[in-house]
Amino acid sequence: MSESKETQILQILRKKASLKQLVFSNTYQNFLLLKEVLKDIEKRYNEALSDIFSDPIFKYNELSDFQIQLKVAGDVLIFQMHTNVFEFDRDHDVWKVSYVKENPLSTYCGVINIYNFLSDSFKYERFEDLGYLVGRLFINKDDQYFVEGKRQMALLRTNFGHQAINFEGLRDIVETAIAYSIGFDLLVPPYDAMMTITVEQINLAKSQGQLKTGKRLGFGFRSDDVNTGPEVKYTGG
């Protein structure tokens, strides 16, 4: 290997390895903070609803170092931190933000995915049930963040490049995800789509109703069609 090639490789590794380590560390520290946010929401909302419900309807659970969940009545929100650091393709709208134009390395981000499932899917072990990606939280080397998602999630004030993530910012993201998830109900699927069923499916359904279920069930969801791409809004730059 020529000295110039070796020098080039070492420079790239030093630059990118340290950058990605910083991004990972920032994302993980904020994921730890997110755990505290969920615990606080669990306590606050259960206390506020204690005069209506005898049993708590908010329940926080830590599934692993990188996956946590919040049960809200019949819904479950799962927050999953990816262990890798990502860069955006050149067609992504993030490149239009002035902060990014001035700081190209700011686009290396960690990501926390937010999924919505039916709580019965876990209770009755309906492993074929569908979950739904509600939004994605991106965090970079400067603790700057933005949220990518649909409908309400896309309307969060993120101000990428001008506002670092904090406890209140995470709370706003979580409460928006909760409001979005509980704001629509499970729809009856089209009759024609349910006309046939296999012996295996009906046998599975005998004891615990294990027929594949999800809020969208693969069908268009009226005004919220899952085939449309994510809506993104940046308020910074």
Domain boundaries, the chain: 20-232
For residues 31 and 84, what is the distance between their CA atoms, to the nearest angstrom? Answer: 14
Mention every residue, 6+ apart, whose C-beta is less than 8 A from residue 167: 33, 36, 37
| Rounded Cα gap, residues 206 and 141, in angstroms | 52
pLDDT at residue 191 in the model: 67
Please check whether residue 117 is in contact with residue 131, taking contact to mean a CB–CB distance below 8 angstroms: yes
206 pLDDT band, cuts 50/70/90, is low
pLDDT per position as a tens digit, 86-142 = 999 999 988 989 999 999 899 999 999 999 999 988 888 877 788 889 999 999 999
DSSP state letter for 96: G
| Tens digit of each residue's pLDDT (9 = 90 or more) over 10-36 | 888 888 899 999 999 999 999 999 999
Place of tokens 């110039």: 4
DSSP secondary structure string for all residues of 158-213: --TTT-B--HHHHHHHHHHHHHHHHTS-PPPPPGGGGS---HHHHHHHHHH-----
Element housing 22 (H / E): helix 3-48
- State residue 185's pLDDT score: 66
pTM, entire model? 0.80
What does the pLDDT read at residue 131?
Answer: 86
